[in-house]
């Protein structure tokens, strides 16, 4: 295995991380920003106000994207194991 192959698999791993965690983090970020603006406008400074809406949004995103996420993770794992099998040859 040379440097290019190592960099390729690092790039693939980072792409998988972004594809799997990105929608969840983006949804939580958007809800957090909306609640922060709401708190600034209404002067409600309750720190725990953001937790429940963020958890609900993350649960909804997981509900709708869990099939895609599981398929992506399985495909990535299969590609890694297929590569590992060819390393020794």
CA–CA gap between residue 9 and residue 81 (Å, rounded): 12
DSSP 1: -
pLDDT over 80 at 1, yes or no: no
pLDDT over 80 at 11, yes or no: yes
CA–CA gap between residue 16 and residue 58 (Å, rounded): 18
Instruction: Tell me the pLDDT of the chain averaged across its residues.
Output: 92
What is the total count of domains within the chain? 1
Please state the pTM of the whole predicted model.
0.81
- For residues 48 and 52, the model is more confident at 52
pLDDT computed for residue 65 by the predictor: 95
Rounded to the nearest 5°, which phi and psi values hold at 45? -115, 45
In 3D space, the residue among 49, 28, 27 whose CA is nearest the CA of residue 40 turns out to be 49
pLDDT in tens, 29-50: 999 999 999 988 988 888 888 8
> Could you give the 3-state DSSP secondary structure of residue 78?
helix
Residue 40's domain comprises 3-87
């Amino acid at each position: 295995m040379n440097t290019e192959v190592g960099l390729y698999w690092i790039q693939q791993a980072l792409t998988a991380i972004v594809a799997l965690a990105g929608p969840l983090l983006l949804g939580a970020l958007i809800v957090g920003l909306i609640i922060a603006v709401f708190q600034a406008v209404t002067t409600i400074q309750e720190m725990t106000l953001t937790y429940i809406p963020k958890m609900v949004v993350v649960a909804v995103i997981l509900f709708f994207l869990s099939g895609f996420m599981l398929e992506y993770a399985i495909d990535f794992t299969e590609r890694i194991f297929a590569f590992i099998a060819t390393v020794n040859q």
